[in-house]
Structure formats: C-alpha cells, structure tokens
Amino acid sequence: MPSPLETLLKILADATRLRLLGLLAREELQVGELARAVAMSQSRVSNHLKLLRESGLLEERRQGAHVLVRLARDGALPDDLWNAIESRLAVIEGRADDLARLEQVLEERRKKSRAFFDRVAPEWDSVGSAFEHGLVRWRALACLVQPGLVVADVGCGTGYLSRALVRFVDRVIAIDHSVAMLARAKENLAAHADRVELRQGELDRLPLRDGEVDAIFASLVLHHVPDVFAALREMRRALKPGGRLVITDLLPHKEAWMSEVMADLKLGLDVTELRSRAEKAGFVDVAVEPIDDRYVVKGPAGKRVELPLFLLHGRIPTNAASDAARGRPASASNEIIPERR
C-alpha cells in the first residue's frame, strides 16, 4: 500500500491539477469560475476537484446557492512542499493564460459590484451606514497616534468614515470604484472640500503613488473584494515607512441573502486568515480586536439583522523603503474626482 506521501505526490504529478491548485492558492472560486479560468468543461474540472478534495487539498465554503473552493492551507499539503511547487508553476504550459483568464473572471466580479453600488448610491447613507452603537469608526480612528497625517479611506462609499477622519487628520484621500458613490461622497464632504480628495479606482490597483499616505483605512469593504491579498499588497505599496493599516469588517455570518441583495462576495472574513495574509503582504505588529458594535441591515421581510464586527490593524516597518516590487504602481489612467488641489 502506498504511503500518504506517495499518494500525495501522485495526485500532484498531474499538470492540470497543478494548474487548478495554482489558481485556488490565489483566489477562492466557484467551480464554474475555475472552469472558465482554465478553459475546460465544468465536468472535467469537477473530476479533478473530486480527487483533490479526497486528498485533503481543498477547502469548501457554501455561500447561499454557491460553493466556493480554495487551496487548504492547513490541510494535507505541507507548506514547504507547496512553496517549492508554487515557485515553479510558471513553467507549466498554460499558466500564463490561466492567470489572464482568472483576471477576466475577477473583473466580472468587480463590474457586478460597481454596477450594484452605482445603483444604490442615492440610498446608501440610510442603507449601508447603520450601526447598533456607531462605535466602529471611532474605534478605527483611535489607531491614529498623531495629527497632521495624510490618510486614505479605501472603499469610501458615500464618505461615512471620511467625515470622521477629516476631523483628525490633515488630508483625506477617499477612494471608491463607483462613480455614483463618489458623487454622493462629494456632496457629503462638501464642507471639507479643501482637505478631501476623491479618486476613482480599485483596491487591487489603488490610484495612489508608492508611499503616498501615512495610514489607510478599509471599512466594510474587503468582503466586496475579489482578491483580498492583492488589495493588501497594494495598500502596503501605498503606505509610507511606518505607515499604518486599519481594517474594520464583518466576522463570518450566515446571511446568504446578502450575496445578492448587498453584492457581498464573502459572508464575512476569517480573521485568522486575514491576519496571515496581512503579514505575508509585509505588515508587522498585526493585531485583531473584537468591536462592541454591530452592523445593522434590513433583511428579508424587513427583519432587522445585526452582524458582528472586528478591527485589524498593523503597520509597515519604520525602516522599510517604498517597495514597488511588492505591488503594482498606480495606474495613470485612473480618473481623479475632483481635480487635485
């Protein structure tokens, strides 16, 4: 009888399965999305996934009617073995095309999210900014330790957090991928127009220069982001040495209807995994704290739903140079609204 290691190596000896694992190490995907990324039939992909699942190489998560799959980081595949494999994936035939198609799949998600937020922007102040106690943005602001900062509010929506930030810092750069959300934020922040700049852009391609800001706040946005790790790397790139990252978001929950009604890509975030990804992206002193507050939404049949929150914060080492190699430079084509003052 073959040993577990021999069985594992036999599973990994297939190039198609390596291509699938290479994508699932980067992003959690539905089977249909994975099939599109590797340009194969869904049935063929499902057959390979069955073998990978039975070998303990995959994790599955149900979100509403969908099942999402990813590489099991704490499963049967040792980290050192996967790291060695991952470093050589580029030589596998089809890898570059897989990554290009994966980007197309993720862009479809982004377009769906942008369309949703463009549609709901006029009502978002009442729909998307309700909390049980209203403490979450103040707990986030408490992570700042000095005035005179330039900070970014990524996924700013209609400016809920920016309205608080501008009271504590020198300048706020508010970023969102929805033009309609930014237009509403411009109205809400009109009294602070001299110290708030609005920019349109994606979290994995932030319209920020390397080392442009002292702190970045991401409030209730990462559960809308297709590739959380790419967003974390971009935030690291845009921070100055010693700069701080502050994230507030939803803990895992079971309100599957939010995937359709609120355009949520994830039903909350696993804080252990998020902390690990933040550290891998280059952040240090990463800490997670619970928040004695709830995000309040109106569920099916008008039912009041209260969702638990967490706060994660970390920083860039103070001796770290601006490191463009860790992320992609900001795109010069990103629209800036309004003109920079």
Q: 86 and 134: one domain?
A: no
288 is a domain residue: yes
* Res 115: pLDDT: 81
DSSP-assigned letter for residue 258:
H
Q: In what order do the strands lie in the sheet with 213-219?
A: 196-200, 171-176, 150-154, 213-219, 239-250, 304-315, 284-298
319 is a domain residue: yes
Higher-pLDDT residue of 301, 208: 208
Q: 80 and 133: one domain?
A: no
103 is a domain residue: no
| Residue 336 pLDDT grade (very low, low, confident, very high; cuts 50, 70, 90) | very low
Q: 250 and 304: one domain?
A: yes
110 is a domain residue: no
- Residue 170 neighbours by CB distance under 10 Å: 12
Q: 132 and 216: one domain?
A: yes
339 is a domain residue: no
Q: 150 and 299: one domain?
A: yes
Q: Is the pLDDT of residue 330 over 60?
A: no
Q: 200 and 319: one domain?
A: yes
- Residue 132 neighbours by CB distance under 10 Å: 15
Q: 196 and 249: one domain?
A: yes
Task: Write the CB contacts of 275 (distance below 8 Å, at least 6 apart in sequence).
Answer: 286, 288, 312
pLDDT digits (tens, 9 = 90+) for 100-149: 999 998 888 888 788 877 877 777 665 555 555 455 665 666 565 466 88
Q: 173 and 280: one domain?
A: yes
User: Residue 32 sits in a domain of what CATH number?
Assistant: 1.10.10.10
106 is a domain residue: no
Cα(206)–Cα(234) distance, rounded to whole angstroms? 6
244 is a domain residue: yes
* Res 189: pLDDT: 94
Spell out a b/e string for 289-306, using b for 16 or more CB atoms within 10 Å of the CB, else e: eebebbbebeeeeeeeee
Q: 56 and 164: one domain?
A: no
Q: Is 64 left (phi over 0), alpha (psi -120 to 50) or beta?
A: left
| Residue 251 pLDDT grade (very low, low, confident, very high; cuts 50, 70, 90) | very high
For residues 266-278, average pLDDT: 94
Q: 69 and 193: one domain?
A: no
Number of separate domains in the chain: 2
80 is a domain residue: yes
Q: Is the pLDDT of residue 340 over 50?
A: no
How much is the pTM? Answer: 0.60
What residues make up the domain containing 251?
Answer: 121-326
Q: 194 and 260: one domain?
A: yes
Determine the Cα angle at 324 with ends 319 and 328, to 5°.
145
Q: Is the pLDDT of residue 206 over 80?
A: yes
Q: 156 and 229: one domain?
A: yes
User: Residue 263 sits in a domain of what CATH number?
Assistant: 3.40.50.150
